[in-house]
Amino acid sequence: MSTGTPGAAGASTGGAGAGPATAAVVEVLGVRHHGPGSARAVRAALERLQPDVVLVEGPADADPVAALVADPGLVPPVALLAHVTDAPGTAAFWPFAVFSPEWQAVVWAHERGARVRFCDLPSSTSLALRDTGTEDPEDTEAPGGSQQDLGQAAGTEQAGERGEPDAAAPAPSADLLGVRRDPLAALAAAGGYDDPERWWEDVVESRLDTPTPFAVLTEAMAELRAAAPALPAAQQLTEDRREAHMRQVLREVLKGGARRVAVVCGAWHAPALTGTLPSAASDARLLRGAPKRRTSVTWVPWTHSRLAHASGYGAGITSPGWYHHLFTARDEPVPRWLTRVAGVLRAEDLPVSSAHVIEAVRLADTLAVLRGRPLAGLAEVTEATRAVMTGGDDALLALVTDRLVVGEAMGSVPEGAPTVPLAADLRASAKRLRLAQESAERGLELDLRKDTDAARSRLLHRLRLLGVDWGVPTRSQVRSTGTFREAWRLVWAPELAVSVVEASLWGTTVAAAASAKAVSDAAGAPLPALTALVERCLLADLPEALPVVVDAVGERAALDLDVAHLMAALPALVRAARYSDVRGTSASALTAVASGLLVRTCAALPAAVTSLDDAGATALRAALDDVHAAVLLWEDPDASERWSAALAGVSARTDVHGLLTGRTTRLLRDTARLSPAGAARRLRRALSVGTPAPAQAAWVEGFLGRDGLLLVHDADLLALLDGWVCSLPEREFTEVLPLLRRTFGAYDRGERRSIGDAVTRRPTTTTAAAAVVDDALALPALRTAALLLGGPA
């Protein structure tokens, strides 16, 4: 919408009156955010208008970093990140893709030497409005137009992050929210389209009767705004302030001497910037009293998947990869797209030939003609892919959607972009260690005997301690009996940039920040968390924090009387003491603390195992297993002797839950503290007639644990257990069957098969031989089985 008359210009400048400003030309380009059609139309309009100032809907305090668009290192998708300086967790993103009209407007301005300014409310105000609860939580229609908060970036709803609506006002309807979030989609739906971009292509860009579509779109938006129900008061105030700020910036650049101004904004706001505008004084009154907070703004990498609706982004789209293709493939977009689809399927070893591509192109074009559309859209190429290339397989079609339709392209940011010192240190460390910050998930196998791999491990563990989960430990795929291997799963998500900013409160380097965070976490942490923190400090190689945390463990252990806490704390402490062998870090101070914990655990164990119910016994059995594994890892004869004596005391008692006596008996047998014959005698006693069947089953469950292969290799135990099961009366067998099923159900299929084979190989006992088959009773069943198998009845 162009304005060039004195009246229009006077309205745009707040009644500036006649003079040089009255000859200024202002054109408002209302766009659909993240739309390739909108992006192309904006560039065409800018080429025609040749403005000397381009205003873009975005946080006004981002102007200082707008110049980085000219840096070749800033590659979309990227996002403006704004965060409150003294509270980095309060932050917001304004994402841009290469097909975003706002991005193309900024790029065009830098290419032509035009001034570019963001004109929306500054982040200092919008983030302050979030804290006061007056920001519209649903007004997320634009990159640069409105922010995506951290809850949206993570794909979750976080109540209170963006403020709640006025409690006294009714919530806006879903239809209203949909119209306001994507007004062009509402127009497309009214025209019978399910794809706003296809509607734009068919109805707007294919028309030849108007040079640009923006005047028509502004009129349509005016009608939608007039018909839309009113927002709650707080949300309406926020929107009014946004549009008032846009008009004030427009007046400012006109007063500064701009002759031709282009305003690129969401189509919904276009009517508020054209026609007869409110006075500058009324806009100033709207903005007066708006809260503010000190913020910092920079660029961060973004991804296509974070532009999608599925990520929780309100202005999201369903097919960012497809839109990127539409914008970058200027000729033959459908054949080029289907060729890429064929490449994805071939990478999965599927037989997709060039003939498939040709046939799919023909089908997509035919579908477009039958539907009266000038070009095939995403729906047509998807149906052609399903019919021709995937044979109707929805799983393969989902693969194409993930790889291409959505995609996982990640942008980059130049090193000169403003950032906190911690982020700069992380970037330098990652570069030195050749760790790329990629959005695609990848595995990383580390050999801690190598200097580079050990340094990578330290960096990733330090980041995890800071809450920056770039890497997550996984199970190594390399078979090894040593402790020198680590496996990681690396994924760099855009919201981790905010986590880095939050972590910068602890220090300017990763090592210093992790040390400070560990010392802070040690204050007030319970004993199990403290010993786990010791382990993490050793993994991260934090020699400054380790003594403080170890001292805290000693103090807390001396005062903690809960045996569950003592047992939960010991394994992590023992594992930490072992790291001196692999990583070269000193862990000698941990040995004395671990010894003290073990002495207190053994002393408290007899009382701890008394009068437990099933749930308590189950929990304590897991703790026994963990402590036992830790003592074996420790390889200290005194510790092993002390722990075995404690287990023997529990195993010999008759007033303890069978799950625990069975488990302690098994642990003693495995460490040769009890002979197999002795273990068999205790099993036989536990399965004697005087013991209730549920108690017998609990003893068996504790004894066998998760290692069913013991029955395969110990024929005497298998015979004893088999005889016990066969001797159970029907009523008792019914009682213990669920317990036995739980025990044997924990084994994998191979173990269960091996146990079954071992049972069938056993010689027939007198108990089993006593069962005589009645041929008359069995005959009907045999005939039915023969019919089912297709044999003669």
- Kindly report the three-state secondary structure assignment for every residue of 249-301: HHHHHHHCCCCEEEEEEEHHHHHHHCCCCCCHHHHHHHHCCCCCCCEEEEEEE
Same domain, 360 and 494: no
* Residue 697 contacts residue 739 (beta carbons within 8 Å): yes
Q: Which of 651, 728, 727, 643 is nearest to 683 (CA)?
A: 651
- For residue 745, the model assigns a pLDDT of 67
Same domain, 449 and 385: no
| Across 335-344, average pLDDT | 92
pLDDT at 163 over 60: no
Is residue 609 one of the residues assigned to a domain? no
- For residue 141, the model assigns a pLDDT of 39
Is residue 105 one of the residues assigned to a domain? yes
Q: What does the pLDDT look like over 577-623, one tens digit per residue?
A: 766 544 444 556 677 777 877 888 888 888 888 888 888 888 888 88
Q: What does the pLDDT look like over 224-272, one tens digit per residue?
A: 888 777 778 888 888 899 999 999 999 999 999 999 999 999 888 999 9
Residue 692 confidence class, pLDDT cut points 50, 70, 90: confident
Question: Which segment of 9-13, 68-72, 178-182 scores lowest on mean pLDDT?
Answer: 9-13
pLDDT at 20 over 60: no
* Residue 466 contacts residue 59 (beta carbons within 8 Å): no
Average pLDDT, the chain: 79
Straight-line distance from the first to the last Cα atom of the chain, in angstroms, rounded to the nearest whole number: 87
Residue 383 confidence class, pLDDT cut points 50, 70, 90: very high
- Per the model's pLDDT, the better-predicted residue between 210 and 235 turns out to be 235
Residue 10 confidence class, pLDDT cut points 50, 70, 90: very low
- For residue 246, the model assigns a pLDDT of 95
Q: For the sheet containing 295-301, what is the strand order?
A: 148-149, 87-96, 78-84, 295-301
CA–CA distance, 476 with 31 (Å, rounded to integer): 49
Residue 32, classed as helix, strand or coil, is coil
- For residue 611, the model assigns a pLDDT of 83
| Across 481-492, average pLDDT | 79
- For residue 181, the model assigns a pLDDT of 63
Is residue 322 one of the residues assigned to a domain? no
Last residue of a domain, one of 506, 526, 549: 506
Q: What does the pLDDT look like over 104-135, one tens digit per residue?
A: 999 999 999 999 999 999 999 988 887 665 55
- For residue 142, the model assigns a pLDDT of 36
Same domain, 395 and 432: no
Residue 428, classed as helix, strand or coil, is helix
Same domain, 45 and 120: yes
Q: What does the pLDDT look like over 636-649, one tens digit per residue?
A: 888 888 888 988 88
- Per the model's pLDDT, the better-predicted residue between 574 and 533 turns out to be 533
Same domain, 149 and 29: yes
Q: What does the pLDDT look like over 546-562, one tens digit per residue?
A: 888 888 887 877 776 77
| Across 656-660, average pLDDT | 86
Is residue 520 one of the residues assigned to a domain? no
Domains of the chain: total:
4
- For residue 139, the model assigns a pLDDT of 41
pLDDT at 21 over 60: no
- Per the model's pLDDT, the better-predicted residue between 181 and 344 turns out to be 344
Last residue of a domain, one of 406, 430, 463: 406
Same domain, 437 and 496: yes
Residues 6+ apart with CB under 8 A from 226: none
- For residue 510, the model assigns a pLDDT of 93
Is residue 137 one of the residues assigned to a domain? yes
- For residue 419, the model assigns a pLDDT of 83
Question: Which segment of 131-135, 344-348, 436-440, 541-545 scores lowest on mean pLDDT?
Answer: 131-135
Same domain, 386 and 437: no
| Across 287-295, average pLDDT | 90
pLDDT at 201 over 70: no
pLDDT at 70 over 60: yes
Exposure letters 753-778 (e unless 16+ CB within 10 A, then b): ebbeebeeeeeeeeeeeeeeeeeeee
Question: Which segment of 241-250, 432-441, 668-677 scores lowest on mean pLDDT?
Answer: 668-677
**485-490 vs 471-474, strand pairing mode:** antiparallel
* Residue 381 contacts residue 352 (beta carbons within 8 Å): no
Same domain, 255 and 357: no
Residue 424 confidence class, pLDDT cut points 50, 70, 90: confident
Is residue 710 one of the residues assigned to a domain? yes
- For residue 678, the model assigns a pLDDT of 81
pLDDT at 147 over 70: no
| Across 410-426, average pLDDT | 86
What is the residue range of 790's domain?
675-793
Rg (CA), the chain: 35
Question: Which segment of 39-48, 88-97, 193-202, 574-583 scores lowest on mean pLDDT?
Answer: 574-583
pLDDT at 436 over 50: yes
Alpha helices in 13-92 (DSSP H): 36-49, 63-66
Same domain, 242 and 384: no
Q: What does the pLDDT look like over 319-338, one tens digit per residue?
A: 888 888 888 887 888 999 99
Is residue 452 one of the residues assigned to a domain? yes
Report percent pLDDT > 70 for the chain: 78
| Across 729-740, average pLDDT | 72
Whole-model pTM?
A: 0.67
Same domain, 353 and 485: no
Most confident of 153-157, 406-410, 509-513, 545-549: 509-513
Same domain, 216 and 106: yes
pLDDT at 543 over 90: no
- Per the model's pLDDT, the better-predicted residue between 459 and 304 turns out to be 459
Q: Which of 106, 155, 198, 482 is nearest to 313 (CA)?
A: 155
Last residue of a domain, one of 374, 406, 438: 406
- Per the model's pLDDT, the better-predicted residue between 484 and 60 turns out to be 60
- Per the model's pLDDT, the better-predicted residue between 46 and 777 turns out to be 46
pLDDT at 14 over 60: no
Residue 386 confidence class, pLDDT cut points 50, 70, 90: very high
Is residue 271 one of the residues assigned to a domain? yes
Same domain, 390 and 427: no
